[in-house]
Structure 1
Amino acid sequence: MLEAVDTDLWLTEGPVVDFHGFPYPTRSIIVRLPDGKLWVWSPVALTPELKAETDALGPVGHLVSPNKIHHLYLTEWHAAYPEAKLWGPASTIRKRSDLPFEPALEDVPPEDWQGVFEQAWFRGSFFMDEIAFVHRPTRTAIFADLSEHFSDDFLKRYWKGWKGFLAKPWGIVVGKGFAPLEWRLSFTNRKPARAAFEKVAATHPDRIIMAHGEWVKTGGEAFLRQAFAWLIR
């Protein structure tokens, strides 16, 4: 169930979930930090198999929500790993006031993972913000909804009829990898988002992993400028 991507970096595919009538695949990333603790980004459904594989890697130390949409499975992971710290931007913390979060994530990584991750706070939208991460040792950039990259096979299977017809002009397909149209349009102040993009680009990522769609195994810098063309042009 866990796929080894690189040294101390794994991903796992979760179930397809419904988001306002649109089926979305889900994906989580697990990183083992230098202290041996596991950093779990955007947790997916915690099955017994996934829990056993996760436990074999080490103790879960951090559960990370990158934006206010990616919180669905935090409750079950927190119940399974009550000693793990919960992290997210202020928007997630407000939405999930039932959970005991650490101070809100912004542009500066907390001491718990300084030097391992770069992080960039994409804000300036009235709809949603997101914390993007770059795993420095493997040059892997990590996005939740800032880049969606659906294959034709996925769209034919899950986005039938008019839904699939919309995907290409929205730019959330392989070959573009844009953020959803409504989110792009909601950036009334693009300056802080552009600064966040440049912060990610400055790390020269080679691999891009997103929560939804086909992840990019190499050529990440070119993909990054393609996926954020709407923001930086």
Structure 2
Amino acid sequence: MSKEQNMSATMVIRSVSPQITTLSVPFLRFNRFKFGGRATIVRLQTGNLAVFSPVSLTQEARDTVTSLGGNVSYIIAPDIEHHMQLGPWKAAYQNAQVIGPEGLREKRAKQGNEDVVIDHIFTKENKRSIKLPEDFAREFDVEYFDGHANKELAFLHKPTRTFINADLVFNLPAYEQYSKTGENPESGVYGKLMAMILGIHGKGQQRFIWWATAKDKNSFSQSAKVVAGWDFDKIIPCHGDVIETEGSAVFKRLFAWHL
């Protein structure tokens, strides 16, 4: 079975709300840790589609885009890690504008990835002044965590009170993302370890955020306070299950040391 056939067989496509569809897939970090991966597609009030953290562009993913109207207007790489499928999506939807953080294009060039122009680049200097397209800006609040190790962009979809992120909040084990594989995402030493460190219960993830991801703690804390002030109920992470409700309380607990 080819890689794409395998991804087609294991991709979980779900309508989270009338406006939001997720494409969830199995993903091994460092070929050991069952993180899972997730793309999030938001249908704007204009009918335009915004795709966050694109995963493999399988035929099923293409069909899903078509069923949602087909007009991919924005492709978002929310940090310098979640970009590996940027090239295929941009090639398929050439009119889409790309949103990402500083350093992303340079990293892609160094890795030998396709040269994709980043149309809207968030930097530490412009994070409070950058102008995004009107239909996107009308529905989303954006906070750039320049103090995060991966240069994270966080998004609030205001109409659905949904917080969309890449590596800010994890919710392991990745049950949904591994649900078609026949594998237990919390099995083995690594599975149990990740559930302990990157689950939403206990102090593991709180410590991980403080010691591993917040490289500039002052800037990181400022951004965390911005997100803590947002009005959201649901959290859609890239890694692990969707937090369906009380997401704001989860965020404030995990980021308490920064608040």
Helix, strand or coil for the counterpart of 1:166? helix
Unaligned runs of 5+ in 1: none
Residue pair 1:68, 1:92 contacting (<8 A) in 2 also: yes
CA distance in 2, matches of 1:159, 1:143: 22
Query: Does residue 215 of structure 1 match 2:242?
Result: yes
Q: How has the CA–CA distance of structure 1 residues 101 and 188 changed in structure 2, closer, same or farther, with 3 Å as cutoff?
A: closer
Q: Which aligned pairs between 1:9-158 and structure 2 lie closer than 5 A?
A: 9-19=20-30, 21-58=32-69, 59-97=71-109, 98-105=115-122, 106-107=127-128, 108=130, 110-112=132-134, 113-125=136-148, 127-151=149-173, 157-158=184-185
Q: Please, what is the CA RMSD of the aligned residues?
A: 2.5
TM-score (norm 2): 0.78
CA deviations over 1:136-161 (Å, ceiling 9, x no partner): 0011011111111113867x824654
Q: Which has the higher contact order (CA 8 A, sep 6+)?
A: 2
- The percentage of aligned residue pairs carrying the same residue is 30
CA distance in 2, matches of 1:185, 1:83: 37
Q: How has the CA–CA distance of structure 1 residues 36 and 180 changed in structure 2, closer, same or farther, with 3 Å as cutoff?
A: farther
Which of 159, 172, 175 is the equivalent residue of 2:201?
A: 175
Q: Per-residue deviation at 1:84?
A: 1.1
Q: Per-residue deviation at 1:109?
A: 5.6
Unaligned runs of 5+ in 2: 1-11, 110-114
Q: Per-residue deviation at 1:37?
A: 1.2
Residue pair 1:43, 1:73 contacting (<8 A) in 2 also: yes
Q: How has the CA–CA distance of structure 1 residues 81 and 183 changed in structure 2, closer, same or farther, with 3 Å as cutoff?
A: farther
